[in-house]
A = this chain, B = another copy of it.
């Protein structure tokens, strides 16, 4: 690395038309993410061409290339990690016969209100049996599991599938964060003992950390959810919450200890080595990649637009040639030489060869969140140098061509570390704890996620949770941090019922 240029000023005109396109997509982006997060999110989805909301069916999103490429990378990283932990991929049908869907009572009660139903086909009219467009795949997969599993030798069975699910949600929908069609991975696992199933939920939480935190840079707490907020049919649900820039929580992957609830309902039994049959124990885990994508861009973006982690960026390196009349060809050739070099290194790279001014190109690619920009003009071409720009801290450095590979690798890794740390700092700054109801009220007003002593996350605590919701404008009890080791002292009471507190829970408001 060589001389550092002075940091670029961030003062920009509010609106700046690009010369070569007429529509609004190329104006300079400048919205305060902290102050106007909702506007920031809505606008960046549109301006960065992440998704188009005009499909005409509520909650069904059109994913444009800029989000799709990143989402494909996110699937790759998640699937690799699942496979490292011994999960194998499968593809199950997207429809579930109504009779199978109704086998597990709690499950059907939980999901029936959200199911899209297929009841006719072609010109022949009605189907013999209605088909549910799957809202989740337990009742699709477990009838087959009951055929596949015979003896303890067939266990553990650890399978996952990547695909879409559909839920007829009543709540208002938001691109990526909440929709009626979403894109996810679901893993469904079977064991001989409850202990192994419990260990799987811990493994799932480790996978969440390895991928969502370490690779995507998203901070979160993993909670054991209260009894009244479990997955339909589960013994326990563990789920990760991150915080949006406005301090509201967003639920990320959850893992469910199903015990033998489904195995009894679907007849998933195994023979032990003495020939005795037992119901198996199960878990499932469901990282919703579309929502994690939404969370990721919300967490990392800044007032100028998106910032992608280096590994998942749709374009990792953009090359902007600065063409003067003199030596334009030489600069163009140099830019192309660099593109070939960077491509051969295995990165996703693009030259911006449009006839926009360099400054407009800079703003555009910063808004799009490209981690690294290479600027090449006459001087760079002449001296085999490159000016390299890093998106998150806006630092520019001049390097020689021979340093390019090492520099891209280092700048990419540094950017990842920096945005992860910055996101974690923000997250931590939004956590608080309260010792009185008044303190809780104040913290919730200032949009924090608040730790309080609590009577119980069993069903006997549900009334207190309802009370919290009423008194605090919808604030919800999120559960016990699975890493929490402290137990309330004798003096600590539940703020609502006044009973001795048995645990600490976090309370927050939903985005």
Q: Chain A: residues with CB nearer than 8 A to chain B?
A: 20-23, 52, 54-57, 60-65, 68-69, 71-72, 88-95, 97, 100, 112-124, 131, 133, 140, 143-144, 147-148, 150-151, 153, 159, 161, 163-164, 166, 168, 181, 183
A182 CB to closest chain B CB, in angstroms? 11
Bound-complex Cα distance A123 to B20 (A):
50
With A62-B93, A90-B63 as given contacts, are A116 and B121 in contact (CB-CB < 8 Å)? yes
Bound-complex Cα distance A131 to B61 (A):
15
Specify which chain B residues have a CB less than 8 angstroms from the CB of A69 in the assembled complex.
88-89
Of all chain B residues, which has the CB nearest A99? Answer: B56
A143 CB to closest chain B CB, in angstroms? 7
Contact call A144/B23, Cβ cutoff below 8 A: no
Contact call A57/B131, Cβ cutoff below 8 A: yes
With A115-B121, A122-B115 as given contacts, are A147 and B72 in contact (CB-CB < 8 Å)? no
Contact call B65/A164, Cβ cutoff below 8 A: no
Contact call B183/A91, Cβ cutoff below 8 A: yes
A315 CB to closest chain B CB, in angstroms? 11
Of all chain B residues, which has the CB nearest A100? Answer: B56
Specify which chain B residues have a CB less than 8 angstroms from the CB of A68 in the assembled complex.
88-91, 161
With A118-B118, A144-B55, A153-B20 as given contacts, are A72 and B89 in contact (CB-CB < 8 Å)? yes
Bound-complex Cα distance A61 to B95 (A):
11
Contact call B120/A117, Cβ cutoff below 8 A: yes
Contact call B65/A97, Cβ cutoff below 8 A: no
Bound-complex Cα distance A71 to B68 (A):
20
Bound-complex Cα distance A23 to B20 (A):
67
| Supplied contacts A94-B166, A94-B181, 19 more A-B pairs, CB within 8 Å | A20-B153, A23-B150, A54-B147, A55-B144, A56-B143, A57-B93, A62-B91, A62-B92, A63-B91, A65-B159, A69-B88, A95-B116, A95-B181, A112-B122, A113-B123, A117-B120, A118-B118, A118-B133, A164-B164
- Other-chain residue from B60, B72, B121 in contact with A95 (beta carbon distance below 8 A): B60
Contact call B119/A119, Cβ cutoff below 8 A: yes
Specify which chain B residues have a CB less than 8 angstroms from the CB of A63 in the assembled complex.
90-92
A383 CB to closest chain B CB, in angstroms? 33
